Structure formats: C-alpha cells, structure tokens
Amino acid sequence: MAYTGGMATAPTAVSLPPSLAPLISPYLSAADQEMVAQAYALAAQAHAGFFRHDGSPYIEHVTAVAAQLAHWHAPAPVLAAGLLHDIRKEKYAAGVTLAEVTAVLGSEVAQLVDNVSRLGRLGAPYTADYPHSVQDRMAQVAAQLPWVALMLQRSPLAVVIKIADKLHNFESLAVLPVERQTNFANGVMSIFAPFAERLGMRIAKRQLEDHAFAVLQPALFADLQRRYPETARQTAAQPIIDRLQAAFTAHSFPVQLFARHRSLFDMHRLEAVAQKEILLHLADPIIIICPDEAACYQALGAVHALWPPQPGQIWDYIAAPRPNGYRGLHTRVHLDEGEWLSVVIRDGQMDVVAENGVTAVWRGISIELQSPFPAWQEPPAGKIGVLTPIGDFISLPVGATPVDFAYAIHMGLGHQCTGALVNGKQVTLDQPLENGDVVRILTSVANVGPSPEWLNFAKTARARSAIRRWLKAQKPQHAAESGWQKVDETLRPAGLTLSAPNVMNRLTAIARQLGFESRDALFLAAGLNQVDLGRLLRLMQETAENGDDSTPLHATIVSLAEADMSQRLAACCRPAPPDAIVGYVTKSGVLSIHRANCHKVRHLGPLIQAEWPLVDSQPRAEIQLLALDRPGLVRDVSQIMADADINMTSFHADRLADGSARIVLGLGEIPRWRLDRLVAQLESIAQVRQVERRAPTLSGQLMHDSVLARHFENPYTLRPVSGAGFYGRRRELRELINNLRDVRPGEAVLLWGPRRIGKTSLLLEFQQRVMASQDYVLVFLDMQRLSGRSTTIFIRDILRAVAQAIGHPEVTPRINRLRRDPLGYFRSFLDNNPHLRDKHIVLIIDEFQLLPHLTEEEVTLADINHTFRSLIQHRGGLSIIFSGGGVLDSLLKQPDASFMLEVARYQKVDCLDEPAARQLIVEPAQRVAYTPTAVDNLLTLTARHPYYLQWLCGELMARADREERQVIADEHVERLLTEWLPEQGEQFFNHLWGSSAGLTRPQQFLSKLALVTMAGGAAETMSLAEMENSLSGVLVDTPHLWYVLQDLAQMDTVMAVGERYAIKMPLFRRWLQANYTLDRVLKERTRGS
C-alpha cells in the first residue's frame, strides 16, 4: 500500500534514520515501512531547528520513542504516531498540522497523535508552563485525570505511546533542576506506572518504576544496586534452576527455566514486607515456561513434590485471570528453614502476555489471549455511556444525573453523595450527563443521606428506589414534611386547606382507601413521590361533593405491587375484622377483599395476601438500648422520650464489661405504631448499636445485676490501653521504635493487622515510650473522631496537637490565616516555631483509611498528602505512621495515601503470644483465681486474640462478682458459652467477615457463605472443593470464593492448613453455629439487594 503526501512540500522519497530502519524492516512490509518513512519526513519538518534541554536535536527524541515502540513490534500507524506525537507542542514544533497528517497518513494516525497530545496535558516535563511545585503539579494532574480515563477506554494505544515517551525522557532527565526531576518522577510513579500495570505491560512498568525510584530515592536505589547485583542474583539462583531442570528432565518434561529479575523498586517493597534483607537466591522468582496450559498444572505438582508449598500461598490466575488479563500459576515453596522461594508457571503465550500486556498482539498472540482492555462502545438508543475516573463504563438512560451515576456504582456511594465533578468541573447534582462524560462523585459521611428533592430529577428506577428506601427508614419525618407540603400545594388551589378539620378527616378516609395505614403514612409516601397527587385531588373533590366524611373499613395489603390499588369489600361474604382475608384483582383493576374461606375465591388466582390494620395497644413495653459509652448519651435518649410524650415508668442505665452502655426504658401503655416510631428514633442516635424490645420482667434482674456491678470495678476493658493495662507486645513495640529510628527520608511506616487486634493500644504505649524522650514531638490523630471534618480543620487539629505536645498550648494556630492558605501556614508554623528546632515530629494517623471521609475545604486531600510527602523527603525531622485495620491489599489502595505507602515499611500486629495472653487473663483478676484448665480453655477459644480475651474475661468477672465467687473454672466458661454467647449481637463479630476491612458487600456475602459452611461442617477443616459441594444449591463463583478465603486468612479469621481451611477462633465458630445458617445468609443478601 502506498501513502501519498498531501502537502506541497512533502518529499517524494525519504529514508529512515539508521537507529530505526533495522528495527522495523524484519517485521513490517515495504508499504508499511513507506508509511513510517513519510511520518519521519513530517516529523523532521515539524521539529527542524528545535532542540531539547540537553542540546540534542528534537527529532532524535521522537525517533527514540518510535524505536522503543519498534522494540515492542508496534504496527506502522502506531510508529507513525510515535514519530509525530509532539508536533502540537509549539515550543518544539511548527509547520505541521493534524489536517496535514490526515492528508498524508490517514485519520487513524491523526487521531492517535491527537490523543497522545491530550495525554500530554498531564505534564510534559519540558513545556514552558510546567508547574514548579508539587501542589500545582498534582492539581494539574487531578484536573486532567478524566481525560486519561477516557483515553484508556477509547485509545489505549495512545497511552502505550506516552509510556514509550516517558521511558526516553528519563535518559535526559539529569540536565533538569532537581525539583523538576522529582516532579516528573512523582508523576510517572503515581500515574504512568499504574497505567502500564493496567495495560499488562509489566516490562515497561518495571522500567518506569526503577527510573522514577532512582530519581526519588537515589541513595536507597544505589544501596539496593550494590546489595542486589543482577549477576550475583543469577549465580545464586542457578543451583535451584539446575535442581528443577534435573527433576523435569528425569520425567521427560520439556520446560524452560530462568530467574526473572525483579526491579529494584520491587526489591525495596519486598524488604519492607519481610523487614529484613532478602537472600540473593530468593530475590527473584523462578519462571517455568511449559508447552501448554495443562502442562502448567503438571509442573505445579512437580515443584510441590520437590519442596512443600507455603499454606495459603498458591494462586491460580489461569482459572481466574487478573483484571489486566494476566494468567499463570504462582506458588511459594519451602526451601529451607525460613527460606521461601517464589515460583511462577506459565505457557509461552501466557508469558508473552504477562510481560507485554496489550502489546502482546503485536507479537502474534491471538486476540482472545490479549489483556482484555475494554474498547469504547457507543451506547444503544435512549442510553448514554459515562466513565468512572478509573475508566469503567457505566450505561445510563438519557437525561440521567450524577445521582443516578452514584447509585449505579453502589447504593452506599449514592447515599454519601454530596456533589460531582464532570470532566474535572464541579456541577450540580441535577445536571444531565452527556455521552462520554467522566464523572467523579464527591462524598461525605457527615450529614449523609439523600434529600427528597433528589426524587424530582433522579431518572433510574434503581436510584429512585434506593432514595425512597433510605428516606423512609432514616428520615421519615423529613420525607413526611416534604409530603405534607406537596399535598398542601396540590389541594390549596381547589380551596382545600389542610388546617381545616373536615379536610383532614376526609384525607384520613382517603388514605385508608388508597391502602395507607394512616394519614401520616400518606404524607410519607407523598414525600417519596409514591402518591398520584392528581388522583388524590379528584378523590378529595368527589368526597366533598358527596358529603361523605365516614371512615370505611380498609385492608392492609402485604404485597407492595398492589398496595396502592383501589379496594372494595366483597358483597358475597362481607368481610370484617377479625376475619382472615385475601384479595383478588378484578378485570376492572379494583382489589376485591374477600374472607379467606369465601367460596367464590377458592378457584380464582392469583390471590393477594391481606390483613386488617393493627390498632391494638401493647399493654406494657420495655426497650433495651446498647451504645458506645459517651458523654451526652443519656441526654439524647431523654430528649427523644420527652419529645415523644410517652409515659415512661422506669429508666435504668449501666456500663457493661465491654465498655459499652446499656439503657433500659420501662414504658406504660403505648400503641404499637408509636412504639415502632420510638424504636426508629432511638436507633438514629449517634453511636447506638442496637435497640430491641424486651419482656418487662427482665428489668428487675438487670437492676439487680447493675447494683452488684457497682460494688467492684471490672478490671477488663475493650478500650485501648497503655501503661499498667498493657500486656505483651514487646517485640512489636521494639520493632516500631526501630522502624521510627531507621526510617529513611521519604518513607512512612504502615502498622496494620486485623480489626480490634490492639493496634491503637500499641500506638498509645509507643506514644508513652517516645514521649519520654526529649527529642520527639508525637502527634496522635484518631481519624474515627475526625471523620467528617473539613481538611482545613484537620490541619488545624494537627497543629493544635503539635502545640500541646511541645507544652505550649498557647501557641495555637490562627484559624483565619489558616483558611487563607492552609498548607502555606502549615509549613510556616513548623518552620518558624522555635520550640520545634532540633525536634523530630512523629505524626500517627490511626484508622487512616478514613482519610477520604474528610470534607475538602480550601485544600484537597491530594494537596495535604503531597505536602506530607515533600516534608518527609526534604525537610527532615518528620515521620508518619499510618495505622489501619483490615486486608493489606485494600489498605495499600487507599487513594489519598497510596503514593506514600508504596515506599512504606510494613509492620503487622498479630494475636498475643502465649505468655502475654496468660498474663492478660490472670494479672487483672486480683480478687478471683482462674483454674489452669480455664485459662487453657480461654486461650484456645480466643486463639489469643486480646479483644475476645478481654470480652470473655470481663463477663466471667462480672458473673463471679454477682455470684460472690472467688474462682473461675472450666464449668463457668462453658456455662458462659452456652447461656450468654448465643445472645450476643453480630457487632462483636462482623469485622471478622470483612464489614470494616475494605471488602465489598459481594465479598462479605462470600465471606459469610464460607464461614457459615465451615462452621456447619462435621470436621474442623474444609477444602475449597468441599465448600463448593456444600454450596451446590447456591450460585458461587469459585475463583472469587478462593480470593475471599485468602482475604480472610490475611485478616486472621481463617487459617490455611495445607489445601484446607479452618476458622481460626473456636469462639467465633461456636457463635456462628448458634446464630447463623446458610438460609439466613441468603435472606440477608436478598434484603440487601
């Protein structure tokens, strides 16, 4: 195919430079080589007379980019776009337009060039207006990320060209000022290296990360180069390769074996996880290339025959590929004491895809094996297609708004929605979205929840249904007030005012006619847009004309589909309370109510379940409320009782062994609907965990228990402790102190582990130890307390804590100056405070995964975190300790801290060792003695988990006090498990299946399925196949179930025993057996969906 030029000045015969021609001639046809030559001629014309910062002609840069693409075997259009990717940079090109590119090379090349130019907005390092500060840089990046997401969807090849561009830019980066080098490397590390991973280009990802790492941490990079030279690593791994080769050769099994060198950035992360230097022969994974997929599994068995696998460390990415298309088998095997080797098994095509990703198709890999990156598809008629910031495609109806988008992602995201960015610009929530928009939802956990007004512009049934459910459950008063206003606005023009008694009487009768239990229920439904206001007006006018103010009998319809249909009582059987009744939909669309035994409905169908409204009163009631003990709790409960004007016969409050508060309310006669409303109001109180109705006869025993409990203070607590109440953790404490001492500039420390394992207690003890030194200023921030505050107030609280820590609380930050320039004032406060000279600030952010819950005000979270990164890199005297509970992979993906966590030292907090756990049981109990078998039983039941040890021991101590015993024996422990444990709510256990560990709801559902299946099994351990067999009646994705089991193992909820799994804590297993069945889990999923 010939390509003819469309410019008068285009040369008719061109030649390629020597650096490019030999690379493309082996795999491109003559016609394709001519196309690349034409592109080179255009590039040479555009860049003639322009030079780079290192003095080289600019044409050499674009030629080098094309050469990199040729190494990847890029086709002619991509090579042409690589040569022309910078022609739109006015500082380095002139004289060639996109129209001329289209005329010479076609629209495909021109579109690629345009797309690469758009990606250049993320910060080409040599433009005149390149931002000079990290804050400006990241602000520019954040503003352009929507374009990147769109480009990843529409033109991944443009991203490939940009990756090649970045790789060559590193070669001349040294001529730039240090700050600009750092900015460039930060952008590559946080943006383009993840893009390469998303495209499956692992070779390019390793190169980008190492180049950026060398710029950001030059001393550390040089140290790693010295300690892990490639030749030494290859030599060290050769005996392992030889042994494997001999084993495969003995069985006539053809394989290729080699050690694939990790990048030095990967070696740094590996060291951080292991907290020690890696042995040279274990530094690189051993790669086994097999003839085909089936042989991969045979090879896995052969490897395990040589060396036993590490429990829970076998990953099958062939059956369940990664999102970027990666496939292969991974295992870790035990070579020697404390030595674990990583082995990766693939066939040849898998290996090409694993290393080259989206570009593997250029090397002859069939398209179905290529990394499955979604192509842009125009949505069908009546629909629009919009994108998430990470490039996921969401289909919505025409006219949909950001609210519809939020609920399409997740119901929780919709409920927390406070605003939206569309293509980087903030918009109102009612603005219709357009095809191709990139939408980012702004959220807050403060004042969370949808507004009734959202129902006026939400388009999708999913969004409208979720909004209604939330308003009905969480803000019925707000919705009812909105409904009252809508009804009033409908009736008032017809001369019907809601303040008139006769109007309200008629409205009550019509509410029941329409299927509502009361007039208030009608107002609530109107506020939820579930009432036809036009029909309501007509009925009110007809009732006024007929002078009918009577209140007819009306049935309550159980089925929501028929709840608002017109009703009539059948004349054949004349039903009336307390007759059992059913409904039948007539041909005219009216719901006819019959007695259940009426002969006319025996052969009709389908019948609708119905019942008479409940109007009886419950003679006496008692409500028990469990909540976190906090100041103002009793006041809040008392205020609700006063506002409800309910006769309260008793009020009792006490503190339980776990540190929570229990309030028991004795009530007089109260209608059932008022009791329901009161329970809902009490549940809305902050930090209330449970509200339940109880038999009134229990209050006397509760009061008796609490009176006895007041005589003795329970020594066990579920709250974080330090000092005398802190047991064990000496190794973890020493490790944390060493991490603080040895941390390198730019590094942070990540303290992680299962929820309620004692991380905060460890930090509090650490705080006491560090505070004893005059060289440190320790600042402790609990994000659970700060969640929902603004970013400006967050900075102010840090500075206040600094002032408090240095003993000068009068040196408080000035809020007015802080609001004008939060980060500038922050730096100035630290730099100019004389009390901070020669001091090392240690900033501890506990529950850091709640950082995104801050409301961005005056300054963004990205700005704050990049300021922190800059300070710990360049200022010195500042260290950051992140602490979070859950799965490590989820914690590392926190968007507002991930760039610091990439180079963090990881430290996991586990259950107590046995001596410390025994100490925790025995030492606090000065007035009672545990028998040795009781202590052993408690250690086994809790698997030495400190939270559950304190929980059980606290209740055992309370019972011993009540029964005036001085001994706690085995029988007392068993009685506690039999009588008390089954009654405990799931709030004590729900974190064990991932409710607060970053697991999604589908993942939590799978977690519950796996746990309930294991708890119900006859044996204590269960294989994945046995779980599948037990769940044969449930649609379960096996690879996803396997992944969830790995997360549960990381959370220490389950343990892997070879290829089998077991619930780690027998206490949790017994609670599940008493409280959860497979049917309950399935019903919870149905209700949640």
Residue 495 shares a structural domain with residue 545: yes
Closest Cα to residue 762, out of 907, 633, 927?
A: 907
562 in Cβ contact with 608 (< 8 Å) = yes
Residue 814 shares a structural domain with residue 748: yes
Residue 390 lies in a domain: yes
Residue 127 shares a structural domain with residue 255: no
Structure tokens at 902: 């990439």
Alpha-carbon gap, residue 1016 to 656, rounded angstroms: 31
Domain boundary among 325, 347, 369: 369
Residue 772 shares a structural domain with residue 838: yes
Which CATH number is 893's domain given? 3.40.50.300
Alpha-carbon gap, residue 174 to 163, rounded angstroms: 19
Structure tokens at 450: 């949808």
Q: Are strands 417-422 and 776-782 parallel, antiparallel or unpaired?
A: unpaired
pTM for this predicted structure:
0.41
230 in Cβ contact with 262 (< 8 Å) = no
Which CATH number is 922's domain given? 1.10.8
Domain boundary among 879, 908, 937: 908
Closest Cα to residue 655, out of 615, 695, 705, 621?
A: 705
184 in Cβ contact with 244 (< 8 Å) = no
**pLDDT recorded at residue 391:** 58
**pLDDT recorded at residue 403:** 92
Residue 689 shares a structural domain with residue 797: no
Residue 941 shares a structural domain with residue 901: no
Residue 589 lies in a domain: no
Residue 35 lies in a domain: yes
Residue 564 lies in a domain: no
Residue 692 lies in a domain: yes
Residue 604 lies in a domain: no
Containing domain of residue 128, as a range? 21-216
Cα-to-chain-centroid distance, residue 359: 30
**pLDDT recorded at residue 198:** 77
Please list, in sequence order, all residues whose beta carbon lies within 8 angstroms of the beta carbon of residue 1065, skipping any fewer than 6 positions away. 941, 942, 943, 945, 948, 992, 1053
Residue 574 lies in a domain: no
Cα maximum dimension of the chain = 105
Residue 751 shares a structural domain with residue 855: yes
Alpha-carbon gap, residue 210 to 222, rounded angstroms: 11
Q: Which three-class secondary structure string do you get for 244-269?
A: HHHHHHHCCCCCEEEECCCCHHHHHH
Please list, in sequence order, all residues whose beta carbon lies within 8 angstroms of the beta carbon of residue 238, skipping any fewer than 6 positions away. none
**pLDDT recorded at residue 244:** 93
Which CATH number is 279's domain given? 3.30.460.10
Structure tokens at 854: 């801050």
Report, as ranges of residue numbers, the positions in the chain whose pLDDT lies below 50: 1-13, 123-147, 369-376, 547-552, 558-561, 614-619, 697-712, 1089
Residue 946 shares a structural domain with residue 887: no
Q: Which three-class secondary structure string do you get for 890-952?
A: HHHCCCCCHHHHCCCEEEECCCCCHHHHHHHHHCCCCCCEECHHHHHHHHHHHCCCHHHHHHH
Secondary element (H or E) of residue 117? helix 107-119
Residue 443 shares a structural domain with residue 495: no
Return the axis-axis angle of helices 822-832 and 791-805, rounded to nearest 10°: 10
**pLDDT recorded at residue 695:** 57
Q: Are strands 749-753 and 878-885 parallel, antiparallel or unpaired?
A: parallel
**pLDDT recorded at residue 959:** 83
Residue 506 shares a structural domain with residue 644: no
Closest Cα to residue 944, out of 774, 784, 729?
A: 729
Alpha-carbon gap, residue 495 to 218, rounded angstroms: 81
Domain boundary among 981, 1006, 1026: 981
**Cβ atoms within 10 A of the Cβ of 655, count?**
15
Cα-to-chain-centroid distance, residue 502: 54
Tally the domains of the chain.
8
45 in Cβ contact with 96 (< 8 Å) = yes
Closest Cα to residue 910, out of 1052, 746, 815, 808?
A: 1052
Q: Write the pLDDT tens digit of every residue in 439-485.
A: 888 876 555 678 877 888 888 888 888 887 777 776 666 677 677 77
Residue 539 shares a structural domain with residue 678: no
**pLDDT recorded at residue 342:** 92
Sequence letter at residue 289: I
**pLDDT recorded at residue 903:** 60
User: The tokens 């690349």 sit on which residue?
Assistant: 36
Closest Cα to residue 356, out of 531, 205, 498?
A: 205
651 in Cβ contact with 625 (< 8 Å) = no
Residue 10 lies in a domain: no
Alpha-carbon gap, residue 987 to 938, rounded angstroms: 21
Beta bridge partners of 334: 340
Which CATH number is 647's domain given? 3.30.70.260
Q: Write the pLDDT tens digit of every residue in 976-1008.
A: 888 888 777 776 777 777 665 556 777 778 888
Cα-to-chain-centroid distance, residue 1018: 35
Alpha-carbon gap, residue 948 to 956, rounded angstroms: 12
> DSSP alpha helices (H): ranges in 555-626?
none
Residue 968 shares a structural domain with residue 994: no
Structure tokens at 850: 């709640």
User: The tokens 């970053």 sit on which residue?
Assistant: 998
47 in Cβ contact with 93 (< 8 Å) = yes
